[in-house]
Structures are given as structure tokens and as C-alpha cells.
């Protein structure tokens, strides 16, 4: 959090200040807030979820959204709802200077701050506006690295979601086959996901459940061990090794319909 922010006395009497006054009280308050927000930075781009504005200005979501839109229409700021970052267009001029000498230590500080940002839709416009005044050099490699990291994060999230979907299908199959009650939550899915991550196919998990259900269900001793935590626990590899050959596995009617279709293709 910055200790102070510069607010020019010219703010209210400038051309843009007069435009802001015509937009109403909410837009005036938000415009002033964007210059002095606890999250604000000297470069004028910073993380600012709408929830922060709602809390600190005691505004509803609708009022904040309308005020942001109005300020955007007069080129005061841009807001990216996806990343929740705001850019106050002239803020770097207000907080730093209208121009800097190339050897000014603040040039490096501005460049470093920009390189820390994620890939934002208004970065190109920012560089176009400030490159000459602040001698900015855009590190394309750093931007590509950030984009690559974001792609990796998206792929990792997709992978986790895919694992969870598979684990839920396996658990639902177990519930249907055994008639036992299980809540679908992190605790019950975790042992299944662990096995999927080790490289075991979804089909093998179905086959193991079908095989053990046929052998153990209703047995006076083994029925008690017909549990997810048992089948996917420490003896999982042994249970897999004990599976009959493909030709001797349970009938296809014991497997989910999508697995039967996979077999027939």
C-alpha cells in the first residue's frame, strides 16, 4: 500500500474534471477514489476487484458498474472484468511526471512494475501512450513467459477438472454396483484420483469394481471390505494384478454404457 498519492488541484477545473462533474456524484467519487485507492500504483494499472470498490465506497454493484462505464466513455479509465485490473489512463503522468529523462531511476521502476503485470487487454495502449515520455522498453520475452504461464495454469485446471470428472464417474459406478451409500466429496474422490494420476485407466477401475462386486457382494465376510478406501487403498495394485484376463472379465453389461461403446469401436 502506498503511503500517499498526488492529487492535482487542477483535477476539478481541468477539461476532464468538468466532464466528470457532468457524469454525476457516483462517477465523481469513483474518479477520485481511483487516484487514491489503497491498491493504486504510480503506473496507474492495478488490481481492483469491484467488491473492493463496493466495500470502500459503500456502493452497490450496479452503481459501481455504471460509474466505471461512464468514466470509460470520457477516456478516464479502462476496466478488465476478467482480470479485475483497472487502468487510470493519465494517472502515471499525475503520479510521476509528464516526462522523464532516460537515466532517471524511475524509468527502471516503471518498466519493472509493468513486467510484473499479467497479460492485460490494455497493455498495448499503455505502451503506446507512455513509451516516449518514459523511455519504456517492452520485454516481449517476459510477456510471452507470462502468457505461457497463464496457459499452463489453464491446462492444469482443465486436467484437475478432468480427473475429478473421471473419479466421480467411477464413484457413481461403485455406488450403483454395490448399493452402498457414499457422499461425493474430496475425501471419497481422493483415493480414486491418486490411482488415476498413477496412470491407471478409467476402464481398469470399472473392471476392478465390477470384478470385486461380483466376488464380494453379499459374502458374509468380504462384503464388509467392499469399500472405496479398500479397493483403492494399499492393495490396489494387487487387486489389479488379480484381475482375470480380458476374455474372462465380467460381462460388458457390468460396465457403464460408454465403456461398452468404447470396447465395441
> Quick one: pLDDT at residue 29?
96
Domains of the chain by residue range: 9-98, 151-264
For 96, 132, 198, 242, 258, the CA distances from 136, given in Å and listed in that order, are 14, 7, 48, 66, 56
Cβ pair 173, 259 in contact under 8 A: no
**pTM here?**
0.52
> Quick one: pLDDT at residue 137?
77
Give the span between the Cα atoms of 92 and 100, in whole angstroms: 11
- Digit-coded pLDDT (tens) for 175-212: 999 999 998 888 899 999 999 999 999 999 999 999 99
| pLDDT range class, residue 5, cuts 50, 70, 90 | low
- Digit-coded pLDDT (tens) for 206-257: 999 999 999 999 998 999 999 999 999 999 999 999 888 764 454 544 566 5
> Quick one: pLDDT at residue 227?
94
> Quick one: pLDDT at residue 150?
60
DSSP label of 67? H
Domain 9-98 has CATH 3.40.50.720: no
Amino acid at each position: 500500500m502506498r503511503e500517499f498519492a498526488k492529487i492535482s488541484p487542477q483535477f476539478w477545473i481541468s477539461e476532464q474534471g468538468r466532464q466528470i462533474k457532468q457524469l454525476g456524484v457516483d462517477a465523481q467519487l469513483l474518479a477520485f477514489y481511483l487516484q487514491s485507492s489503497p491498491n493504486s500504483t504510480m503506473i496507474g494499472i492495478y488490481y481492483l476487484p469491484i467488491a473492493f470498490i463496493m466495500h470502500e465506497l459503500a456502493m452497490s454493484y450496479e452503481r459501481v458498474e455504471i460509474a466505471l462505464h461512464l468514466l470509460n466513455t470520457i477516456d478516464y479509465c479502462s476496466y478488465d472484468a476478467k482480470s479485475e485490473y483497472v487502468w487510470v489512463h493519465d494517472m502515471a503522468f499525475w503520479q510521476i511526471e509528464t516526462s522523464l529523462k532516460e537515466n532517471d531511476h524511475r524509468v527502471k521502476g516503471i518498466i519493472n512494475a509493468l513486467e510484473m503485470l499479467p497479460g492485460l487487454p490494455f497493455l498495448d495502449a499503455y505502451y503506446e501512450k507512455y513509451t516516449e515520455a518514459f523511455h519504456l522498453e517492452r520485454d516481449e520475452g517476459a510477456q510471452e513467459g507470462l502468457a505461457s504461464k497463464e496457459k499452463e495454469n489453464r491446462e492444469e485446471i482443465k486436467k484437475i477438472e478432468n480427473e475429478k470428472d473421471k473419479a466421480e464417474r467411477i464413484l457413481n459406478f461403485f455406488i450403483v454396483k454395490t448399493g452402498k451409500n457414499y457422499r461425493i466429496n474430496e475425501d471419497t474422490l481422493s483415493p480414486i484420483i491418486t490411482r488415476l494420476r498413477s496412470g491407471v485407466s478409467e476402464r481398469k477401475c470399472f473392471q476392478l469394481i465390477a470384478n470385486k462386486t461380483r466376488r464380494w457382494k453379499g459374502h458374509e465376510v468380504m462384503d464388509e471390505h467392499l469399500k472405496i478406501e479398500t479397493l483403492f487403498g494399499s492393495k490396489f495394485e494387487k487387486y489389479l494384478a488379480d484381475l482375470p484376463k480380458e476374455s474372462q472379465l465380467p460381462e460388458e453389461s457390468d460396465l457403464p454404457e460408454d465403456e461398452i461403446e468404447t470396447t465395441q469401436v
